[in-house]
Structure 1
Amino acid sequence: MAAEFKLITEWRIRAPLADVYNAISHCLDWPVWWQGASKVEKCASGDADGVGDAYRFSWRGPIPYRVIFVMQVTRVVPCVLVEGCASGDVAGIGRWNFVHAHGVTIVHYEWRVDILRWWMNFVAPFARPVFRWNHHQVMLQGAKGLAHMLNARLEAVHTREM
């Protein structure tokens, strides 16, 4: 049986909503500013809004293992939401939500996936806190990298299980 993870991360960045949204929605550039994003390749093109686009991601956090998956974009609402379906080492959904209030862009990333790598499922009952910590560290690297790239102040980063 696959281990299931339901995590939500919140970034608060003192930057314009459009700048944050544009950086997130152009994922081919993530390896430039996001330390954990080892490699991003476009696999397929969708419509003009990006729905149907598919990207192959290779991630590596502080704990030395890679997670590789393809994310196909399933929904886009510019400056509001980007959602995709993952398949590979993990299977499930990832959803970015964006809002802006009082000069701060608030980004919520929801990650609901089943782990499909056998060794990760084998150790998941004991290593769940470690996997959650590693996910948070990767997300923290992304928040710091994005804030640095935008020359913006990172106000907060939080990750929790849903």
Structure 2
Amino acid sequence: MTARLYDLSSSWTFPNSQQEVWNVIADPDMAWPDWWPGCTLAKPLERTPVIGTSASELLLATTATLNFKASLGYTLSVSYHPTLVESPREVVFDAGGDLAGNGRVVLSTKDNGHTEMKIEWRVRPTSRWMTFLSPIARPAFTYAHAALMRRGETGLRDYLARQNNKK
């Protein structure tokens, strides 16, 4: 049985510059656990040999596997491997692990100087239990994703505020 495709999107807005948001979300060291509640590194980062020395080239050579604790009690292990990096605007990535597919994050500056971050996910669950339950549990999985994303948005907003207070 093939699991249904989840086409998920989120939009976050921050009072920070596009570059400040980019520096955190596109950090080649994938320090997301520093700001995203319920997120931990599942294993050390994997890096292929890096051709250049820029942060974008380092990010393209990196695969991060992160665990995310869902509000419904389960944990998903998801790998992220960037396939396109256009600093400081866009990251496209492949996802693997418990969710297979791809995603995209796009940053843009609003008229008021704030930064909007649009996140798109097109993934299928790969674990047997999620694939089996997906036809009936889709609303619960979608709810858990939305709650997880809200925690990420709040965590990133608080982290950026702390970074600004250090300046």
In structure 1, the partner of 2:122 is 112
Counterpart check, 1:38 vs 2:45: no
- How far has the Cα of 1:38 moved from its partner? 2.2
Question: 2:139 and 2:3 mapped to 1: Cα distance?
Answer: 16
Q: For 1:85, which of 83, 94, 102 is the aligned residue?
A: 94
Give the TM-score normalised by structure 1: 0.87
In structure 2, do the counterparts of structure 1 residues 120 and 96 end up closer, same or farther at CA, with 3 Å as the change threshold?
A: same
Matched residue type, 2:5: E
- How far has the Cα of 1:3 moved from its partner? 2.0
Counterpart check, 1:72 vs 2:49: no
1:16-27 equivalent positions in 2, closer than 5 A:
16-26=17-27
Over the matched positions of the two proteins, sequence identity in percent amounts to 28
User: Considering only CA atoms, is the larger Rg found in Structure 1 or Structure 2?
Assistant: 2
Give the TM-score normalised by structure 2: 0.85
- How far has the Cα of 1:67 moved from its partner? 0.9
Structure with the larger strand share: 1
Q: CA RMSD in A?
A: 1.6
Tell me which stretches of 4 or more aligned residues in structure 1 moved more than 3 Å.
45-48
Counterpart check, 1:127 vs 2:137: yes
When the two structures are aligned, how many residues end up with a matched partner?
Answer: 152
